[in-house]
Amino acid sequence: MLGAVLWIALVRSSEGIVAPNSTIELMRDLGRPRGDMYEVAVWADILTVRGDELFCTYTVDNQAVVVPENIDAIRALAGTVTDGTESMSRTDAALDVRADFLARAPHPGQAHSPEGARS
């Protein structure tokens, strides 16, 4: 279920993502400027549910919320995009926000899948 939320990207230790510094290196490998990560990385192989409690390990980079939200806010203030959902979709596509870092990214001219888009 977490993997269906675009801003939550599941990572796995078995794929070499073993610590926050691994996510920064992965972002650089993906071509992200300065190694920015706009998603919250959650280690899928460490998730545990006991009763009504979730135990997990995650990392959130400083840019995860600030950069995308500011882009959407600028569009809203400028009136260039009046529909919030449309603005978020454009921002996610421009920043290549994804639910799986190691999945093949769409070709630059190809639209991102709306599955798991921000709400």
What backbone torsions phi and psi does residue 60 show, to the nearest 5 degrees? -125, 120
Has residue 42 been placed in a domain? yes
**Residue reference for tokens 């991102």:** 112
Lowest mean pLDDT among 27-31, 68-72, 85-89, 108-112: 108-112
Has residue 111 been placed in a domain? no
- Looking at residue 51, its pLDDT comes to 96
Has residue 44 been placed in a domain? yes
Has residue 112 been placed in a domain? no
Q: How many domains does the chain have?
A: 1
Q: Containing domain of residue 61, as a range? A: 2-95
pTM: 0.68
What average pLDDT does the segment 102-114 reach?
A: 48
Has residue 83 been placed in a domain? yes
Band the pLDDT of 74: cuts 50, 70, 90: very high
Cα gap 54→95, rounded to integer Å:
29
Beta strand spans in the chain (E): 8-11, 40-43, 48-50, 53-55, 58-60
Has residue 114 been placed in a domain? no
